[in-house]
C-alpha cells in the first residue's frame, strides 16, 4: 500500500442554516395532504449534523392505490387541456419555485448536507426545467397529414401515455423530480411520484406550494420505501409507464415488476464517466474541469468526472495539477459559506459504502495521492480523494463509488483510450480533452455514452437530452425527447376515395 497524505482537510462549521420550513405531514393525493393508511413512519435526517429533521409516512400499497386512482380520475380532463393551458400552469409553477427559492434551497441543503452553491444551482435549474417544458409543450407538434396509400389520408396524433409512475433518487431531490414532473405534465399525463425515502422534504414542499395551480389528482406524491411504494408503482396495472432515476439494481427491479402489465419503462441509472485527457490537451483546464465536475455534489452525481484516462506522456504533469486543485477543495456544512465546494455524504450507510470502497483501493495497492479518509463528525464527511497508479481493469474503474473519489489511469494510444473508456457496463456520460480538431470530432463518435463533452464536463442544458446507453438505462430526460418519451403516437387513416 502506498498512501501519501499531501494535505489535511477540515470541515468548516461556522454559520447555521435557517430552520427549515417543513412540509405538512401526509401523502399528497388528489390535490391535498391526506392521512396515510398506516401509522408507520420513516425518519428524515440532516446528514451534516446527524439530527433527525422530521418523520414522513412509510407509504403502503393502499396509499399507492389511492394515489393512482386519483391520477386515473384526473387523466381525461388533463389530457383534454390545450398545450397553452398546460404551459401556463407550468410557467406559474416555475414562478412559485423561484419565489420560494430560499425555502426550497434551505430544505434541500438541510436534507442532503449539500453546499449552498449546489442547492442554489439545483433550484435555478429546476425553475428552468419548468420554463423549458412550458415552451416545449406548445412547440410540440405532430407530423403534417398526407396520403401514403391511395385515397387515404394519414394523421399522426400525439397523445399522453396516461398515468406515469415516477421514482426519484436522493442526490438532487427536487431537481430530479422537476426533470420528470415538467415534461410529464407538459405532455398531458397525470402522475404519482415517490421521492427517495431519504430526501422527500423538498418534493413534498413543492407539492404544498404548487397545489393550487394544478387540478386535483394531476400530481400525487407518495413517500415510502422502494420495496413497497416503488414496487407497487412499477407493477400497478393502471400505471401506464414507470420512470426511475436511481441505481442499476433498482432499475432492473422496476423493469422486472413492470413486465407483468407490459407497461413502458423509462430508466435513468448509474454512471462511471471516463474523462479522456490526450497529450495535446490543455492540462490545467482539464484538471480544473475534474475538480469541478468530479466533486460537484460531493461526487454523488451520475455524470461525475470520476475516472480519468490520461495519456502516459502527460500523466505526471496532469496528476500534479489535479492533486493541487483537489487539495484546495473547501469542505463544510451547508450554512458555512457560499464558497464551500463539498458537503457531507447523504447518509451514514452511503458514507460507510464510500469508505469501504477506499479500503478496497488500499487493499488493491493503489496510490492515494490526496485525501482518502473520513473527516471528524458529526456528519458524514469524507475527504476529496484522488487515486493514482490504477491498472487497466481495476475495480475502481468499473464500480460506481458515488462519492468524492476520482481515479487516474494511463493509456498509450488513441485506440487504447477509446477501448478502455468503453470498457464499462455504464454508458451515461464521458468527456474528451484535446486541442486537436480531428480528435475532437472522431473520438466522441466512438464513445458509447449518451452525452460526450469536449473540453468540458457536466454542463447540462434543458434544450438537449440527458440519458444513457447500456447499463445506464434507456429513456431521455430534458429536451423535446423527454416529451416524446412520455407520449404515444396514434395513426388515424381517413378513406376519402
Q: Which residues are catalytic?
A: 268, 302
Task: Determine if 205 is a binding residue for ligand NAD (CB under 6 A).
Answer: no
CB of 260 closer than 8 Å to CB of 182? no
Interface with ligand NAD, residue 171, by CB under 6 A: yes
Residues 380-439 that bind ligand NAD (CB under 6 A): 400, 402, 428
Least distance to ligand NAD, CB of residue 252, Å: 9
Based on CB atoms, which residue is closest to ligand NAD, 115 or 195?
Answer: 195
Among 11, 4, 1, smallest CA distance to 329 is for 11
Q: Is 196 in the site for ligand NAD (CB under 6 A)?
A: yes
Please select the residue that binds ligand NAD; options are 129, 250, 434, 479, rule is CB under 6 A. Answer: 250
Contacts of 158 (CB under 8 A, 6+ apart): 140, 142, 487, 488, 489, 490
Only one residue has cell 462549521, namely 13
User: Distance between CA atoms of 177 and 220, rounded to whole angstroms?
Assistant: 12
Our finding on whether 255 is near ligand NAD (CB under 6 A) is no
| Long-range Cβ contacts of 435-443 (<8 Å, 24+ apart) | 435/280, 435/281, 435/282, 436/278, 436/280, 439/278, 439/280, 439/414, 443/276, 443/414, 443/417, 443/418
Give least dist CB 269 to ligand NAD, A.
Answer: 6
Pairing state of beta strands 469-470 and 152-160?
A: unpaired
**349 Cα distance to chain centroid:** 19
Tell me the HSE value of 397 on the side-chain side, using a 13 A CA sphere.
22
Q: Does 344 bind ligand NAD (CB under 6 A)?
A: no
Which of 120, 122, 268, 409 is in the footprint of ligand NAD by CB under 6 A? 268
Among residues 111, 125, 203, 231, the one that binds ligand NAD under rule CB under 6 A: 231
Which of 299, 335 has the CB closer to ligand NAD? 299
Q: Of 23, 173, 271, 335, which lies in the binding site for ligand NAD, with binding defined by CB under 6 A?
A: 271
- Supply φ then ψ for residue 382, to 5 degrees: -130, 140
**Smaller CB distance to ligand NAD: residue 288 or 470?**
470
From 57, 83, 162, 169, residue interacting with ligand NAD (rule: CB under 6 A): 169
Q: How far apart are CA 474 and CA 144, in angstroms?
A: 28
Residue 45 binds ligand NAD, judged by CB under 6 A: no
Maximum Cα–Cα distance across the chain: 82
CA atoms of 30 and 67, how far apart (whole Å): 7
Which region, judged by CB under 6 A, interacts with ligand NAD, from 205-213, 240-248, 288-296, 389-397?
240-248
Beta-sheet pairing, 451-454 with 429-433: parallel
Partners of residue 467 on adjacent β-strands: none
β strands within 107-263, DSSP E: 146-149, 152-160, 163-167, 190-194, 219-221, 241-245
According to DSSP, the residues that pair with 487 across neighbouring strands are 160
User: Could you say whether residue 302 binds ligand NAD (CB under 6 A)?
Assistant: yes
From 57-65, 77-85, 119-127, 190-198, span contacting ligand NAD (CB under 6 A) = 190-198
Q: Which is nearer to ligand NAD, 358 or 417 (CB)?
A: 358
Shortest reach from residue 330's CB to ligand NAD, in Å: 24
- Please tell me whether residue 228 binds ligand NAD under the rule CB under 6 A: no
Residues 455-494 touching ligand NAD, rule: CB under 6 A, are 468, 472
Instruction: Give the binding-site size for ligand NAD (rule: CB under 6 A).
Output: 32
**Contact between 270 and ligand NAD per CB under 6 A:** yes
Least Cβ distance, residue 410 to ligand NAD (angstroms): 26
Closer Cβ to ligand NAD, 218 or 242, answer by number: 242
Q: Any contact of residue 449 with ligand NAD (CB under 6 A)?
A: no
Task: Return the residue of 71, 93, 244, 430 that touches ligand NAD, per CB under 6 A.
Answer: 244
Q: Tell me if 306 contacts ligand NAD by CB under 6 A.
A: no
Stretch that binds ligand NAD, among 166-174, 351-359, 369-377, 407-415 (CB under 6 A): 166-174
- For residues 146 and 96, the answer to whether their CB atoms sit within 8 Å is no
Beta-ladder partners of 496: none
Q: Indicate whether 254 belongs to the interface with ligand NAD (CB under 6 A).
A: yes
d(CA 247, CA 399): 12
**Pick 210 or 482: Cβ nearer ligand NAD:** 482
Q: Applying CB under 6 A, which of residues 113, 115, 165, 230 lies at the interface with ligand NAD? A: 230
What angle, 0 to 180 degrees and rounded to 10, lies between the N-to-C axes of helices 101-112 and 173-186? 130
**Residue 265 CB, nearest distance to ligand NAD (Å)?**
11
Q: Is the peptide bond before 378 cis (omega within 30 degrees of 0)?
A: yes
Give just the sign of the alpha carbon dihedral 230, 231, 232, 235: positive
Say whether residue 298 binds ligand NAD (CB under 6 A): no
**Interacting residue ranges for ligand NAD, rule: CB under 6 A:** 167-171, 176, 194, 196-197, 225-227, 230-231, 234, 244-247, 250, 253-254, 268-271, 302, 400, 402, 428, 468, 472
Amino acid at each position: 500500500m502506498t498512501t501519501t497524505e499531501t494535505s489535511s482537510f477540515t470541515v468548516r462549521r461556522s454559520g447555521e442554516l435557517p430552520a427549515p420550513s417543513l412540509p405538512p405531514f401526509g401523502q399528497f393525493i388528489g390535490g391535498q395532504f391526506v392521512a396515510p393508511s398506516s401509522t408507520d413512519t420513516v425518519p428524515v435526517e440532516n446528514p451534516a449534523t446527524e439530527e433527525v429533521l422530521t418523520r414522513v409516512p412509510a407509504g403502503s400499497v393502499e396509499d399507492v392505490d389511492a394515489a393512482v386512482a386519483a391520477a386515473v380520475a384526473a387523466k381525461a380532463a388533463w389530457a383534454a387541456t390545450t398545450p397553452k393551458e398546460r404551459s401556463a400552469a407550468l410557467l406559474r409553477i416555475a414562478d412559485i419555485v423561484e419565489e420560494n427559492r430560499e425555502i426550497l434551497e434551505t430544505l434541500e441543503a438541510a436534507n442532503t448536507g449539500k453546499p449552498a452553491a449546489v442547492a442554489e444551482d439545483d433550484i435555478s435549474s429546476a425553475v428552468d426545467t419548468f420554463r423549458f417544458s412550458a415552451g416545449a409543450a406548445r412547440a410540440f407538434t405532430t407530423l403534417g397529414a398526407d396520403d401514403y396509400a391511395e385515397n387515404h389520408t394519414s394523421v399522426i396524433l400525439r397523445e399522453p401515455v396516461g398515468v406515469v409512475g415516477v421514482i426519484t433518487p436522493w442526490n438532487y431531490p427536487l431537481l430530479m423530480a422537476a426533470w420528470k414532473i415538467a415534461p410529464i405534465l407538459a405532455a398531458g399525463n397525470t402522475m404519482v411520484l415517490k421521492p427517495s425515502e431519504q430526501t422527500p422534504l423538498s418534493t413534498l414542499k413543492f407539492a404544498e406550494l404548487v397545489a393550487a395551480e394544478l387540478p386535483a389528482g394531476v400530481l400525487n406524491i407518495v413517500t415510502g420505501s422502494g420495496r413497497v411504494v416503488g414496487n407497487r408503482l412499477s407493477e400497478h396495472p393502471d400505471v401506464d409507464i414507470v420512470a426511475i432515476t436511481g441505481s442499476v439494481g433498482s432499475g432492473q427491479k422496476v423493469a422486472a415488476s413492470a413486465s407483468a402489465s407490459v407497461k413502458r419503462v423509462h430508466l435513468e441509472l448509474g454512471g462511471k464517466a471516463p474523462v479522456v485527457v490526450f497529450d495535446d490537451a490543455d492540462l490545467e483546464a482539464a484538471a480544473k474541469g475534474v475538480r469541478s465536475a468530479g466533486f460537484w455534489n460531493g461526487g454523488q452525481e451520475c455524470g461525475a468526472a470520476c475516472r480519468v484516462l490520461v495519456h502516459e506522456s502527460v500523466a505526471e504533469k496532469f496528476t500534479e495539477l489535479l492533486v493541487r486543485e483537489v487539495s484546495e477543495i473547501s469542505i463544510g456544512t451547508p450554512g458555512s459559506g457560499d464558497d464551500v465546494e463539498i458537503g457531507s455524504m447523504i447518509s451514514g450507510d452511503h458514507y460507510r459504502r464510500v469508505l469501504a470502497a477506499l479500503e478496497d483501493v488500499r487493499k488493491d495497492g493503489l496510490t492515494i495521492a490526496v485525501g482518502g479518509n473520513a473527516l471528524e463528525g458529526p456528519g458524514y464527511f469524507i475527504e476529496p480523494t484522488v487515486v493514482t497508479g490504477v491498472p487497466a481493469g481495476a475495480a475502481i474503474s468499473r464500480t460506481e463509488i458515488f462519492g468524492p473519489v476520482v481515479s487516474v489511469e494511463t493509456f498509450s494510444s488513441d485506440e487504447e483510450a477509446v477501448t478502455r473508456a468503453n470498457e464499462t457496463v455504464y454508458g451515461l456520460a464521458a468527456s474528451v480533452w484535446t486541442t486537436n480538431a480531428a480528435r475532437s470530432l472522431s473520438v466522441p463518435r466512438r464513445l458509447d455514452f449518451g452525452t460526450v463533452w469536449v473540453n468540458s464536463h457536466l454542463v447540462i442544458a434543458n434544450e438537449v437530452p440527458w440519458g444513457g446507453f447500456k447499463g445506464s438505462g434507456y429513456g431521455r430526460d430534458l429536451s423535446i425527447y423527454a416529451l416524446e418519451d412520455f407520449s404515444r403516437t396514434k395513426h388515424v387513416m381517413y378513406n376519402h376515395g
